């Protein structure tokens, strides 16, 4: 079973009396789950890696769920880790890998968090789960709530495109439109969670945050216990970076790995407070006003819950932060599709964009093992790839017309495909 040693504030050490307290009663920080892993030995590595479980729950002992009967799973985890030789050659990286989370059940990395978080909600006896979101988190929370038989409430800011909440609505979520921006509705959301006794599925939930540790465990397994030189992660609030670092720390504490990867926070330059703090040598993450960007899923200017934890994780790993332009992000999205066959939403492609930038700068060496986490499917944001109208014009069923079309296509194809 998953043995929870304690809920504890990583800032001041405060511990709550109850299991459903998420914030420190002394300093207000998000609490952290401390797992008791003392019963695990080296022989357990063989048992875990030899398991027939093809989900992240192969690593059950590392997650804060006490009973396997409480697990809510849609088959998440163990997404392909693909060595992209053609793409790597193009970018000058001999060992470039993509962790393809576009294939998770709801189409994004949020499933890692919500499988663990909502499993714990079942265990704690909640009947309603909630999240403010315009897309990926909403879809994932609704899907896992449906599987668990729980009610889900999704708050979205006014003006949100209906297409972005269709998946959540289809899974039975109550969609509440609020006349505020996503950042601006935070206080209202927290008041509502307290008033109605909902289970919070944001990064303010320490159980939910444990789910992304699964990146560390799966990479350890899929790379035959080797540790990459670099892991690059699209970054909004910082949960993925903080959780991966915690996962590798747990593996290191057991003596199962003997070094750590260097972590990279890949952000849009329209909302890059963590990358800015790393660049400036700041001890804190200062909020910024998030500007417009094609990387909608990571457009967070104030990572108040876990930003500082992510900053410390990247620093401790001797990693880096990269703030990327929309042009770099869209170029990386195109390269992923055309040279690796992976259609990612723009936010998810920031990891590859960051890898390309760091390789050009000589920070990443040609022979380094690099893993880019690609975190969301391109169908989440199809408007980012516009098909020219002329490509959709029908031709006559005539070989000469087909030859002309093929010639036009060849003349406009990007250089890297030739």
User: What's the average model confidence in pLDDT over 200-225?
Assistant: 97
Is the pLDDT assigned to residue 389 strictly greater than 70?
yes
Task: Please tell me which residue, 88 or 389, carries the higher pLDDT value.
Answer: 88
- Rounded CA-CA distance 351/264 in Å is 8
pLDDT-derived band at 415, boundaries 50, 70, 90: low
User: What's the average model confidence in pLDDT over 385-397?
Assistant: 87
Residue pLDDT, tens place only, 59-85: 999 999 999 999 999 999 999 999 999
Q: What is the pLDDT of residue 418?
A: 44
- Rounded CA-CA distance 410/253 in Å is 54
Could you tell me the two tokens for 261? 């990867």
Mean pLDDT: which of 134-138, 205-209, 384-388 is highest? 205-209
Q: List the beta strands (DSSP E) in 89-225.
A: 95-100, 128-132, 151-157, 174-178, 199-200
Is the pLDDT assigned to residue 289 strictly greater than 90?
yes
Q: Which residue has the tokens 């509502």?
A: 192
Contacts of residue 125, Cβ cutoff 8 Å, sequence gap at least 6: none
Is the pLDDT assigned to residue 1 strictly greater than 70?
no
Q: What is the pLDDT of residue 414?
A: 63
Local structure of 154: helix, strand or coil = strand
Is the pLDDT assigned to residue 378 strictly greater than 80?
yes
Q: Which residue has the tokens 């297409």?
A: 163
Give 383: exposed, middle or buried? Use CB within 10 Å, 0-12, 13-18, 19+.
exposed
Is the pLDDT assigned to residue 410 strictly greater than 80?
no
- Rounded CA-CA distance 348/109 in Å is 10
Nearest-10 Cα torsion for 145, 236, 348, 158: 60
Give 70: exposed, middle or buried? Use CB within 10 Å, 0-12, 13-18, 19+.
middle
Residue pLDDT, tens place only, 240-273: 999 999 999 999 999 999 999 999 999 999 999 9
Domains of the chain: residue spans and CATH: 81-103+209-384 (3.40.50.1100)
Is the pLDDT assigned to residue 417 strictly greater than 70?
no
* Percent of the chain whose predicted confidence (pLDDT) is above 90: 88
Considering the chain, what is the average pLDDT of its residues? 95
Residue pLDDT, tens place only, 319-340: 999 999 999 999 999 999 999 9
In this structure, of 91-100, 122-131, 159-168, 318-327, the range with the lowest mean pLDDT score is: 159-168
Q: What is the pLDDT of residue 390?
A: 82
């Amino acid at each position: 079973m998953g043995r929870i040693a304690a809920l504890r504030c990583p800032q001041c050490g405060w511990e709550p009396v109850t299991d459903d307290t998420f914030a420190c009663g002394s300093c207000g920080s998000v609490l952290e789950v401390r797992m008791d892993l003392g019963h695990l030995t080296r022989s357990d590595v063989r048992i875990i890696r030899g398991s027939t479980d093809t989900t992240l729950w192969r690593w059950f002992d590392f997650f804060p769920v006490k009973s396997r009967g409480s697990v809510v799973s849609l088959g998440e985890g163990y997404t392909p880790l693909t060595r992209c030789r053609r793409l790597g050659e193009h970018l000058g990286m001999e060992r470039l890998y993509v962790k393809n989370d576009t294939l998770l059940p709801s189409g994004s990395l949020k499933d890692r968090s919500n499988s663990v978080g909502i499993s714990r909600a079942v265990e704690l006896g909640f009947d309603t789960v909630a999240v403010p979101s315009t897309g990926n988190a909403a879809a994932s929370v609704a899907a896992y709530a449906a599987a668990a038989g729980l009610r889900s409430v999704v708050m979205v800011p006014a003006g949100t495109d209906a297409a972005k909440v269709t998946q959540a609505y289809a899974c039975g979520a109550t969609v509440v439109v609020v006349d505020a921006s996503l950042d601006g509705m935070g206080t209202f959301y927290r008041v509502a969670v307290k008033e109605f006794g909902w289970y919070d599925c944001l990064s303010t939930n320490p159980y939910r945050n444990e789910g992304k540790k699964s990146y560390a465990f799966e990479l350890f397994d899929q790379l035959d216990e080797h540790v990459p030189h670099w892991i690059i992660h699209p970054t909004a609030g910082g949960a993925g970076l903080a959780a991966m670092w915690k996962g590798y720390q747990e593996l290191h504490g057991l003596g199962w790995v003997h070094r750590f990867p260097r972590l990279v926070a890949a952000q849009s330059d329209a909302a890059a407070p963590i990358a800015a703090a790393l660049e400036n040598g700041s001890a804190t993450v200062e909020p910024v006003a998030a500007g417009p960007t094609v990387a909608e899923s990571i457009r967070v200017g104030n990572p108040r819950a876990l930003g500082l934890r992510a900053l410390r994780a990247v620093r401790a790993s001797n990693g880096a932060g990269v703030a990327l332009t929309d042009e770099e992000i869209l170029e990386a999205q195109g390269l992923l599709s055309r040279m690796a066959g992976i259609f990612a939403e723009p936010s998810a492609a920031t990891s590859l964009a960051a890898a390309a930038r760091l390789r050009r700068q000589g920070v990443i060496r040609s022979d380094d093992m690099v893993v880019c986490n690609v975190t969301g499917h391109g169908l989440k944001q199809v408007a980012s790839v516009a098909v020219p109208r002329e490509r959709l014009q029908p031709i006559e069923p005539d070989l000469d017309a087909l030859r002309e079309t093929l010639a036009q296509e060849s003349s406009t194809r990007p250089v890297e495909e030739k």
